[in-house]
Amino acid sequence: MGKILVTGGAGFIGSAFIRNMLDWYPDIHIVNLDKLTYAGNLDNLKSVDTKRYTFIHGDIVDAEVMEHAIKGCDAVVHFAAETHVDRSLVGAKDFLRTNVEGVYQILLSARNNDTSRVLLVSTDEVYGSRDVGSAVETDMICPRNPYSASKAGGELLGKAFYESFKLPVLITRGCNTYGPYQYPEKVLPLFITNAMEDKPLPLYKGGEHNIRDWLYVDDHCRAIDTVLRKGVPGEIYNISAGYEKENIEITRKVLELTGKDESFIQWVPDRPGHDRRYSMNSDKLRALGWKPLVSWEEGIQKTVQWYKENEWWWRKIKEGEFKKYYEEQYIKRIIT
């Protein structure tokens, strides 16, 4: 696989994938197609080797842009997405456009260009909440918010293109991922940076005991690379770490690592339809030779340390567009 198109490569996991792939494979070339919406940040890619990397500023929904970007690429890894559940609850239109229409255009362009692999990066949230046990890839999906519903729609299009046209589509469903360069609307970077600024950590009242499985971003990238190279077209692969934590537990860990106490916790009204627990079985992926290499304890310590050492990266984000959105939504939560 000499040339790979990565969509959404200026985002959190996409940029980590590009950095890692260029490091792991000295002969690979990456084309990064990114619209640079609020969460896309070219600072995430300052360290990459530009001799083996091409950036294209454009929208995956734009047929002409997609046809140009995909030319000569052996594979597509599709990260570009609207991903924040809270934003989808306020308005889902952008989620439908990017996560459904965008996937359709990627699949169409891949078919037009005989692309050898198309990997769609999805989420454990399509399974919905699960009180006991862990979801396997053949389980029924049951998305419970507009974000996860839009991701499920994109997945179904991918499966349809595989069944109808034998397009070699693979799908991964990842659990909660964290690490450096994550946009600070997400819970861990928000809580870490808020604690560093002596600001409250807004924790959902009623959701403090909700459970998520936490995967370090480099392990997620290794999993995607494994599926891209060894996965069977038409198949779905769960990516899970097995480090399930309650929301209150991760909050306390952030406070511990930033030297703050629990007086910084600010209880806010719970999210509508808040899923209680996500859990997946990843035996199918592990059979391909993958397993997480970074433990929760190591990963969270590395992550907090990175945000401590890289205030230049996150402070200008929190003082920009994010500040207006966050303050508006935070006030809504407090007064609801």
Strands 244-246 and 211-216: antiparallel
Q: Which CATH class is domain 181-212+244-267+301-335?
A: alpha beta
The predicted pLDDT at position 335 comes to: 35
What is the CB-side half-sphere exposure of residue 154 using CA atoms within 13 A? 36
The predicted pLDDT at position 270 comes to: 81
Phi/psi for 276 (5° steps) reads -80, -45
Active-site hit among 127, 147, 216, 237: 147
The predicted pLDDT at position 323 comes to: 61
Q: Does residue 124 carry a catalytic annotation?
A: yes
The predicted pLDDT at position 276 comes to: 87
Q: Are 250 and 215 in contact (CB under 8 A)?
A: no
Active-site hit among 34, 59, 82, 124: 124
pLDDT, block means (10 residues), the chain with 336 residues: 94 98 96 94 92 96 97 96 77 86 97 97 93 95 89 96 98 98 95 97 89 97 98 98 96 98 94 86 98 98 98 93 59 40
The predicted pLDDT at position 322 comes to: 65
The predicted pLDDT at position 329 comes to: 56
Strands 53-57 and 117-123: unpaired
Q: Does residue 104 carry a catalytic annotation?
A: no
334 φ/ψ sector (left φ>0, alpha ψ -120 to 50, else beta) = alpha
Delimit the domains of the chain by residue range: 3-177+214-239, 181-212+244-267+301-335
Instruction: Work out the burial of residue 209: count CB atoms within 10 Å of its CB; fewer than 13 is exposed, 13-18 middle, 19 or more buried.
Output: exposed
Q: Does residue 147 carry a catalytic annotation?
A: yes
Instruction: Work out the burial of residue 297: count CB atoms within 10 Å of its CB; fewer than 13 is exposed, 13-18 middle, 19 or more buried.
Output: exposed
Q: Which two tokens stand for residue 147?
A: 């974000």
The predicted pLDDT at position 6 comes to: 98
Name the fold adopted by 3-177+214-239: Rossmann fold (3.40.50)
pTM confidence score: 0.93
Q: Are 300 and 241 in contact (CB under 8 A)?
A: no
Active-site hit among 34, 59, 82, 125: 125
274, β-bridge pairs: none
- How far from 85 is each of 26, 189, 200, 274, 330, CA to CA, in Å? 37, 16, 21, 10, 14
